[in-house]
Amino acid sequence: LRRENVDWREDAKKRAALEAVKHVREGFVVGLGSGTTVAYAIQEIGKRIKREGLQVLGVPTSHQALMLAVNHSIPITTLDEHPKLDLTIDGADQIDRDLNLIKGMGGALMREKIVASAAKQFVIVADKTKLVEKLGTSQPIPLEVLPFALSTVIARIKELGGKPVLREGNRKIGPVVTDNGNFILDVEFESVDALDKLDVALKLIPGVLETGLFMSMADVVYLGKSDGVMRLERK
Ligand code: 5RP
């Protein structure tokens, strides 16, 4: 039964990714998000380059996205060369009906937010289990934190009513170190009502480099289901 569940979700993620890649047009500079869902989109962009001779450039949001782009022969560029992107495709950990997001379970949230904010259009790909009524209830908010400031940030978050947990490495002793050399705090809040205000309050803490709250940023969300893809658009 568990295997069926996994297969269902992988198919759904792939279906959502294929829809998103239809947004990619000739000459586009595309932000390449991180995670297992957007990996299918990167693969599909590579296929279109081979099949159609499509000319595009990618701006990866992580080492993972960079290596995927290289492996699928997507030419890479930087924000310095292209500070304005035509499109960014990325995954998400939670999505609400207003298309606000929590991101960062892959630890790439800071570059992801920078690349998303540089794009004219920000398209999200996920399976439908990521859609929730209320963000942050069964999901902590990841923060990228300067290691020097870890203890002061933890104290300030507790004052705001949050429960911060330093993300530990998997097959590594000690904390996860991001692609930018920083730490990740996963923060749970008991009541999470005004998320936009919380986002500002968190960012005002010196040493908090970025939050995983992506408020009013996504334009379109594709949610893969077992039998198709649901499209949500920001009003
Ligand atoms: C990484 C992210 C990812 O986009 C998010 O975790 C979704 O990943 P997946 O598609 O593997 O579920 O925000 O920082």
Is residue 119 predicted with pLDDT exceeding 80?
Answer: yes
Per-residue model confidence (pLDDT) at position 1: 57
Residue % of the chain over a pLDDT of 70: 97
Query: Strand ranges (DSSP E) for 97-234?
Result: 101-102, 119-127, 141-145, 162-166, 183-189, 208-211, 213-214, 220-225, 228-233
Whether pLDDT at 4 is above 70: no
Report, as residue numbers or ranges, the catalytic residues.
Answer: 112
Q: Does 147 have pLDDT greater than 60?
A: yes
Whether residue 7 is predicted with pLDDT greater than 90 in this model: the reply is no
Closest-CA residue, ligand 1 atom 5, reads: 92
CA-nearest residue, atom 10 of ligand 1: 37
Average pLDDT, the chain: 96
In this structure, what DSSP letter does residue 93 have? S
pLDDT in tens, 72-103: 999 999 999 999 999 999 999 999 999 999 99
The C-alpha R_g of the chain, in whole angstroms, comes to 18
Overall average pLDDT of the 195-202 stretch: 96
Q: Is the CB of 90 under 6 A from ligand 1?
A: yes
For the chain, the straight-line distance linking the first and the last C-alpha, in angstroms and rounded, comes to 38
The reply to whether ligand 1 has any atom less than 6 angstroms from the CB of 15 is no
Q: Choose among 3, 1, 10, 36: nearest CA to 226.
A: 10
**pLDDT given for residue 192 in this prediction:** 78
Nearest CA to ligand 1 atom 8: 35
- In this prediction, residues 64-73 reach a mean pLDDT of 98
In the chain, pLDDT over 90 holds for what percent of residues? Answer: 94
State the pLDDT at residue 5.
66
Confidence of residue 3 (pLDDT cuts 50, 70, 90): low
> For residue 142, how many other CB atoms are within 10 A of its CB?
25
19 lines ligand 1 (CB under 6 A): no
Give me the pLDDT at residue 16, please. Answer: 98
Ligand 1 centroid, distance to 128 Cα (angstroms): 14
Is residue 102 within 6 Å of ligand 1 at its C-beta?
A: no
Question: Is 34's C-beta closer than 6 angstroms to any atom of ligand 1?
Answer: yes
Mean pLDDT over residues 161-184, rounded? Answer: 97
Taking residues 119-147, what's their average pLDDT?
A: 97
Residue 235 pLDDT level (bands cut at 50, 70, 90): confident
